[in-house]
Amino acid sequence: MKIGSTEIVDTFAEAFGMRYCRVIVTAHDPHWLEAATRELCGYGSSVIACDAEVGVERWLGPAESPDGRAGAVVMAFGFSTDALGKAIANRIGQCVMTCASTAVFDGMPEAEEKVPLGKQLRFFGDGFQKSKVIAGRRYWRIPVMDGEFLCEESLGVAKGVAGGNILIQGADQAKTLDAARRGVAAIDQVAGAITPFPGGVARSGSKVGSRYKGLRASTSDPYCPTLRSRTESKVVEGANCVLEIVIDGASEAAVAAAMQASMHAAAGEGILAISAGNYGGKLGKFHFHLHELLA
């Protein structure tokens, strides 16, 4: 199967079930909103070592925002509800409450499962904090030096899917970087999906385990072009650069749609093949077969 001149390898991406929350961050203007989201999403690429996988799902105009200001919808993924709750409260407390003019709202108020947010952060107010229930939702007003930090008492949590991916194999780095950017831009238009790695792209794809004791993951040597002669390589003939786009989504359908969009966008001149990473189907219950997605 091909998209133009790009071969689509007959393989599948293997993804995992995870918990996620959806946070709406607002600020005085786009400058402060970008500052807050950049900090909130930092060190949020992979739960191999990070406390959560975090990324901006979409940006909101004043007409869509809960308080009529510039806004962003941020999704955060973790392996368990407890771990996710701890990570997101810490991140918002350190990265958003500290950012001038910001406020935080629950992006999934209908979710039955909840993790504390304002309920925990309110103690920073040192007794001066105030709360109010509006339309059945409790908000906390925490005094800070530019006024008040407004946030909801809790955030909804739901089941999601993490680890969908495509591997872009290009003739050189420049063409592969361009293709990866096209692929990420296409995913930005898909509702319910994020790409948590830097710029949406990972060059250090990983495999499970290592020859070194204690390491949970190590470099995916089959996709390292420089190791062709030293490992069972999966790099196609003529490819000298491989980049991975990792996708987390609110549902199996969201991840599938994101993979479809990214493959169509990334394919093109200088991109010899698009494949995907898996672990033989033994670790993740969600399998996204590339040929089926494009059928």
DSSP for 57-116, written as a single string: EEEE-TTTSTTSSEEEEEEEEESSHHHHHHHHHHHIIIIITTSTT-EEEES-TT-SEEEE
pLDDT at 279 over 90: no
Q: Name the nearest CA neighbour of 244 among 191, 283, 200.
A: 200
Q: Are residues 60 and 181 both part of a single domain? A: no
Looking at residue 106, what is its pLDDT?
A: 98
**10-59 tens-digit pLDDT:** 999 999 999 999 999 999 999 999 999 999 999 999 999 999 999 999 99
Do 139 and 84 share a domain, yes or no?
yes
Q: Which of 102, 126, 158 is the last residue of a domain?
A: 158
Statement to judge: residues 152 and 182 lie in one domain = no
* End position of a domain, from candidates 128, 158, 188: 158
pLDDT tens track for 149-203 = 999 999 999 999 999 999 999 999 999 999 999 999 999 999 999 999 999 999 9
Instruction: Give phi and psi for 236, each to the nearest 5.
Output: -70, 160
| Residues of the chain by 3-state class (helix, strand, coil), percent to 5 | 25, 35, 35
Q: CB under 8 Å to 54, separation ≥6 — which residues?
A: 40, 41, 44, 74, 75, 76, 77, 91, 194, 196
Whether residue 114 is found in the same domain as residue 67: yes
pLDDT score of 281 more than 90: no
Share of the chain above pLDDT 70, in %: 100
Q: What is the pTM of this model?
A: 0.95
102-128 pLDDT per residue, tens:
999 999 999 999 999 999 999 999 999
Q: Do 277 and 266 fall within a single domain?
A: yes
**pLDDT average, residue stretch 231-242:** 97
pLDDT of the residue at 280: 86
Residues 24 and 8 in one domain: no
| Residue 203 belongs to domain with CATH number | 3.30.70.520
Do 151 and 177 fall into the same domain? Answer: no
Same-domain check for residues 165 and 265: yes
Instruction: Give residue 267's pLDDT band: very low, low, confident or very high (50, 70, 90).
Output: very high
Q: What is the pLDDT of residue 250?
A: 98
Q: If you average pLDDT over residues 270-285, what whole number do you get?
A: 93
Residues 132 and 168 in one domain: no
For 75-99, the pLDDT digits (tens) are: 999 999 999 999 999 999 999 999 9
Same domain, 146 and 32: yes
In angstroms, the CA 105 to CA 65 distance is: 10
Range of the domain at 265: 2-15+161-294
Tell me which of 158, 181, 203 is where a domain ends: 158
Q: Are residues 124 and 150 in the same domain?
A: yes
**Mean pLDDT of the residues in the chain:** 97
154 and 182 share a domain? no
Please count the structural domains in the chain: 2
Residue the block writes with tokens 């939702």 = 137
